[in-house]
Amino acid sequence: VGQADAILVRQGSTVVLVDSGLDERVVTALVRNNVHHIDAVFVTHWDEDHWGGLPAVLEQFSVGTIAVAADALEDAPAEVLNRPGVEYRQVRRGDTVDIGSFCARVMWPFESVNGEGNEDSLVLLLSYVQEGKGLRILLTGDAELDQEREFVQEVGDIDVLKLGHHGSKVSVDGELLDVLKPELSLASAGEGNRYGHPSDACIDAVKEAGGVFACTIEHGDITVTPTANGFAMRCQRP
């Protein structure tokens, strides 16, 4: 979806979208991935590259719930409010949401927010345990080091990290990676973006920590699937 975030979480017939890109490209991506309905959309915060595609999603798909961090609904763009048949939900730290056999736990923010800044980003820890398969993924929105340090010890060892703020230079460092120990770190960014995302500092930190780095710029859609031995990664572009 370019310089934006849109993460599809799917297990069985349950489909959840975490952020919805910047524009209509998210609809094309969802169709490409055989999505027909969406049970819930989590909007991490109100930067346009995290919600801008939501009006198009609401026009194209049946959406059950739109979820945001506590009190961020008050500052929601008018385009996404008062949609018939859509439930609006605010979630707080410690809340859990089941997505099929995945459990999404809210790790951040600690307090109520208006959702306007990167520091307000909703952070979700996804856990999957079923039939001997286990997978832990941290979805960080645009959260950066100052926020991540507040909850990272509680998260502990994970398998996959969705890097905060498109892999900016303040999204991660060696100290944080020593705690999380992700085997795979992913950045969602757009080719030629003016911010220089993902940053060399971020990429170097991931590689120095012994993890694998991958970005949507090179690989397009990146799919992570639990397996008996951990997880498998499949890319739209090799």
Low-confidence stretches of the chain (pLDDT < 50) are none
For the chain, the average pLDDT equals: 96
Asked whether the beta carbons of 232 and 224 are under 8 A apart, the reply is yes
Q: What pLDDT is attached to residue 132?
A: 82
| Alpha-carbon span 86 to 69, nearest angstrom | 17
* pLDDT tens digits, 177-205: 999 999 999 999 999 999 999 999 999 99
CA–CA separation, 86 and 65 (whole Å): 5
Residue 25's pLDDT is 97
DSSP output for 90-132: EE-TT-EEEETTEEEEEEE-SS---S-SGGG--EEEEEEEETT
C-alpha 171/C-alpha 168 separation (Å) is: 5
Distance in angstroms (rounded) separating the CA atoms of residues 134 and 69: 27
Closest CA to 185 of 214, 143, 205, 164: 214
Q: Which of 214, 173, 215 is nearest to 193 (CA)?
A: 215
Look up residue 161 and give its DSSP letter.
E
Question: What local confidence, expressed as pLDDT, does residue 70 receive?
Answer: 97
Percentage above 70 pLDDT, the chain: 100
Q: What is the pLDDT of residue 136?
A: 97
- CATH superfamily placement of domain 7-235: Ribonuclease Z/Hydroxyacylglutathione hydrolase-like (3.60.15.10)
3-class DSSP assignment, residue 15: strand
Amino acid identity at 76: A
Q: pTM of the full predicted structure?
A: 0.96
